[in-house]
Chains A and B, each alone.
Chain A
Amino acid sequence: MNRMAIEVAGVHKSYGTQTVLDGIDLRVEAGSVFALLGPNGAGKTTLITILSTLVRPDAGTVTIAGHDLAADPDGIRRSISVTGQAAAVDGVLTGDENLRMMARLSGFTAPAAKRRASELIERFDLGPAARKRVATYSGGMRRRLDLALSLVATPPVIFLDEPTTGLDTRSRQTLWDIIQDLARRGTTILLTTQYLEEADQLADRIAVLDHGVIVAEGTAAELKAQVGGEVVELRDARGEVIRELPTDGSVEALRAAIDELDAFGTVDGTIGIRKPSLDDAFLALTGQPALTTPATQKEAVR
């Protein structure tokens, strides 16, 4: 068995003149949690739709659990499950019916499907709502059901596309526990997120995706180190931060930072030095600030 659960090489995808993915290379070790971190529009969802066989890439190769995307998409489909951004549940059916339908489609007999549905209902705390139509569920309940559907037949590789977007703090913590539990059982998990905290908490390795290119990859500690030894804060006369510059801590870099302060024409400016955070890494790599508070981002999923 290959040690790599997911191998992606040179994947390109364009829609018309817009290049969404511009040469993606990724290797995800079997049994690890890998986070794709990036701002909105970076290409995270496009990459997930390609890996989950929904969309063919324009160029490049993808191998998942030993199956080649071009030659054997059904082999990949047998090895994965996907939880998308829009909760993929059937609103007309009840939670119980959704789970049983998915179990039947995964090869369970009708009685086995019924048992599996009850297990998952209990596991994901859906008991009181199991016999209600999903259309009446709250956003958090839909997300939990969506994840339960993905785990009906536990596959070796799971894709989670922004799994906690729109969830309240408690639901998010539950989901994190479930993800960590799955990882301990040897499932390979590839998740996308806009939240540093989530990547930091869950992932063994993180790749930062920006404008269709992976701009950095490594553990959280490696990414922080990549920014440099220190961050220089430039403040104006009123003490407000006007610029944060990552430096390697050398005198030359500090001097360059001071030159930059001069270039702003700031009179009576001050400088400060601090250790970099993952936020700084993200900012330095993508040119925009990361989202740090999941609860306030995006509109809640209905």
Chain B
Amino acid sequence: MTALTVPVRPEHSVTPLTSAVVFVGRSIRHALRDVEALTMAIVLPVMLMLLFTFVFGGALDREGGYVQYVVPGIILLCAGFGASSTAVDVARDMSDGIVDRFRTMPLRSRGVVTGHVAASLLRNLLATGVVIGVALLVGFRPTADALQWAGALGVVALFILAITWLYAGIGLAAKSPTAASGYGFALLFLPYLSSAFVPTDTMPSWLQWVAENQPITPIIETIRALLFGRDPGSDLWWALGWCALIIAGAYVWAAWLFSRSAARR
């Protein structure tokens, strides 16, 4: 048996930035090794894109123009699916001893959740790229300039962050990874009750009220307007406001759940 080297202990504690970088790196490794989730993140956008264009698209618009309408909806639907795995990842971490080890170290341990959120953002931006790529192949012809493209992608990124933080909170609130997966499912229906797939004025009036006042609709309309070079008008401010509100609320909720989960043991 070789002798243990003389105890080495760096004097300083790590900064929140260093620990955040380490946790993000950890979550990206997790994401890359979860082959099934990564495959889903790429295959699902392709399948949904083809389904909505070639199966439903003909019935919804006989001229074949539905693909021009539906792309923002599919981006958000895929981002929602992709982000939902964050709930399971976070719940799995919390049921493991590894988070307790982080908590006994002098560092900001809730950065472990931030790591999962950052990895989800990267994974879902990749999925968004796949959606747009396939859309262009099947006839999507956006007319946005570079600035409008940047704006549209920025809103998509904000939406991904918002929904991922919500899922992170769900993962912390759930008692097991399986439960986290179940609770998270409800959120996936929100895009259907919005202007993502059909204009809201085709819905019964009570549902129309729900669809027009829920956060997905202004986000969808903003992305749609920007991609076709139109001025999103007040939808942009509603979209930004909703995202900021959800990110702030979900972040505070997640931070509270994280500290409570330690105290409750």
Q: Which residues of A contact B (CB under 8 A)?
A: 49, 52-56, 74, 77-78, 80-82, 84, 86-93, 97, 101-102, 104-108, 116, 119, 122-123, 133, 149, 151, 153-155, 174, 177-178, 181-182, 185, 187
Query: Which chain A residues lie closer than 8 Å to B18 at the CB level?
Result: 104-105, 107
Choose among A49, A87, A88 the residue that contacts B265 (Cβ–Cβ < 8 A): A49
The CA-CA distance from A25 to B101 in the complex, in Å, is 25
Interface presence of B7 (CB below 8 A): yes
Query: Which chain B residues lie closer than 8 Å to A78 at the CB level?
Result: 13, 106
Beyond A55-B265, A77-B106, 19 additional contacts (C-beta under 8 Å) are: A52-B104, A54-B100, A55-B262, A81-B104, A89-B98, A92-B30, A93-B30, A97-B29, A101-B22, A104-B14, A104-B18, A105-B102, A106-B14, A107-B14, A119-B5, A123-B2, A181-B3, A185-B4, A185-B7
In B3-33, the 8 Å CB interface with A consists of 3-5, 7-14, 18-19, 22, 25-26, 29-30, 33
Q: Which residues of B contact A (CB under 8 A)?
A: 1-5, 7-14, 18-19, 22, 25-26, 29-30, 33-34, 96-98, 100-107, 262-263, 265
Give the nearest-CB partner of B10 in chain A: A107
Query: Which chain A residues lie closer than 8 Å to B26 at the CB level?
Result: 90, 93, 101
Q: Are A87 and B97 in contact (CB under 8 A)?
A: yes
Report the minimum CB–CB distance from B169 to chain A (whole Å): 21
Q: Are B29 and A154 in contact (CB under 8 A)?
A: no
Query: Which chain A residues lie closer than 8 Å to B265 at the CB level?
Result: 49, 54-55
Query: Which chain A residues lie closer than 8 Å to B14 at the CB level?
Result: 104-107
Q: Are B104 and A154 in contact (CB under 8 A)?
A: no
Q: Are B13 and A107 in contact (CB under 8 A)?
A: yes
The CA-CA distance from A95 to B1 in the complex, in Å, is 19
10 contacts between A and B (CB under 8 A): A88-B101, A90-B26, A92-B30, A102-B101, A104-B18, A104-B22, A107-B11, A107-B12, A185-B4, A187-B7
The CA-CA distance from A74 to B10 in the complex, in Å, is 15
Query: Which chain B residues lie closer than 8 Å to A56 at the CB level?
Result: 263
The CA-CA distance from A250 to B158 in the complex, in Å, is 82
Query: Which chain B residues lie closer than 8 Å to A104 at the CB level?
Result: 14, 18, 22
Query: Which chain B residues lie closer than 8 Å to A82 at the CB level?
Result: 100-101, 104
Report the minimum CB–CB distance from B11 to chain A (whole Å): 8
The CA-CA distance from A181 to B2 in the complex, in Å, is 11
Known A55-B263, A104-B18; contact A182-B4, beta-carbon cutoff 8 A: yes
Report the minimum CB–CB distance from B66 to chain A (whole Å): 41
Give the nearest-CB partner of B29 in chain A: A93
The CA-CA distance from A105 to B12 in the complex, in Å, is 11
Query: Which chain A residues lie closer than 8 Å to B263 at the CB level?
Result: 55-56
Q: Among the interface residues B2, B25, B103, B104, which one has the most CB atoms of the partner chain A within 10 A?
A: B104
Q: Are A88 and B5 in contact (CB under 8 A)?
A: no
Report the minimum CB–CB distance from A141 to chain B (whole Å): 16
Q: Are B101 and A149 in contact (CB under 8 A)?
A: yes
Q: Are B97 and A122 in contact (CB under 8 A)?
A: no
Query: Which chain A residues lie closer than 8 Å to B103 at the CB level?
Result: 53-54
Known A56-B263, A87-B97, A88-B97; contact A153-B9, beta-carbon cutoff 8 A: yes
Give the nearest-CB partner of A108 in chain B: B10
Query: Which chain B residues lie closer than 8 Å to A181 at the CB level?
Result: 3-4
Report the minimum CB–CB distance from B140 to chain A (whole Å): 36
Give the nearest-CB partner of B95 in chain A: A86
Query: Which chain B residues lie closer than 8 Å to A88 at the CB level?
Result: 96-98, 100-101
Q: Among the interface residues A53, A107, A119, A155, which one has the most CB atoms of the partner chain B within 10 A?
A: A107
Choose among A74, A84, A91, A122 the residue that contacts B101 (Cβ–Cβ < 8 A): A84
Known A93-B26, A123-B2, A182-B4; contact A105-B105, beta-carbon cutoff 8 A: yes
Choose among B1, B8, B11, B106 the residue that contacts A74 (Cβ–Cβ < 8 A): B106
Report the minimum CB–CB distance from A105 to chain B (whole Å): 6
Query: Which chain A residues lie closer than 8 Å to B30 at the CB level?
Result: 92-93
Q: Are B4 and A123 in contact (CB under 8 A)?
A: yes
Report the minimum CB–CB distance from A211 to chain B (whole Å): 19
Q: Are B96 and A105 in contact (CB under 8 A)?
A: no
Query: Which chain B residues lie closer than 8 Å to A90 at the CB level?
Result: 26, 96, 98
The CA-CA distance from A20 to B105 in the complex, in Å, is 25
Give the nearest-CB partner of A100 in chain B: B22
Give the nearest-CB partner of A187 in chain B: B7
Choose among A53, A97, A133, A182 the residue that contacts B104 (Cβ–Cβ < 8 A): A53
The CA-CA distance from A187 to B4 in the complex, in Å, is 13
Query: Which chain A residues lie closer than 8 Å to B101 at the CB level?
Result: 82, 84, 88, 102, 149
Give the nearest-CB partner of A52 in chain B: B104
Query: Which chain A residues lie closer than 8 Å to B1 at the CB level?
Result: 123, 174, 177
Known A92-B29, A181-B3; contact A105-B107, beta-carbon cutoff 8 A: yes
The CA-CA distance from A56 to B9 in the complex, in Å, is 27
Known A77-B105, A123-B2; contact A105-B29, beta-carbon cutoff 8 A: no
Q: Are B4 and A74 in contact (CB under 8 A)?
A: no
Query: Which chain A residues lie closer than 8 Å to B102 at the CB level?
Result: 105
The CA-CA distance from A52 to B30 in the complex, in Å, is 27
